[in-house]
Amino acid sequence: MAISGPKLLNQLKLLIVIGIMILIAQRIGYGIGILQAIPGMILVIVISLFALVIRALLPKVQMPAFAWASLTALILSMPFMPTAEVFLRFTDEVNFLGTTAPILAFAGISVGDKIQKLKSLSWKVVIVAIAVFCGTFFGSAIIAHIILTLQGII
What lies within 8 Å, CB to CB, of 31 at 6+ separation is: none
What lies within 8 Å, CB to CB, of 75 at 6+ separation is: 81
Return the sign of the alpha-carbon dihedral for residues 60, 61, 64, 66.
negative
* Cα-based angle 59, 62, 63 (whole degrees, multiple of 5): 100
This model's pTM is above 0.75: no
Given a contact cutoff of 8 angstroms between Cβ atoms, the answer to whether 23 and 60 are in contact is: no
Banded model confidence at residue 1, pLDDT cuts 50, 70, 90: low
What lies within 8 Å, CB to CB, of 68 at 6+ separation is: 50, 51, 54, 55
- The ranges assigned to domains in the chain are 5-113, 121-154
CA neighbor of 54 nearest in space, from 39, 42, 71, 40: 71
Is the pLDDT at 137 greater than 90, yes or no? Answer: yes
**What is the arithmetic mean of pLDDT over 39-66?**
92
Banded model confidence at residue 13, pLDDT cuts 50, 70, 90: very high
pLDDT digits (tens, 9 = 90+) for 67-112: 999 999 999 999 999 999 999 999 999 888 777 777 777 777 777 7
pLDDT digits (tens, 9 = 90+) for 18-52: 899 899 988 988 888 999 999 999 999 999 999 99
pLDDT at position 2 is 61
pLDDT at position 23 is 92
pLDDT at position 102 is 74
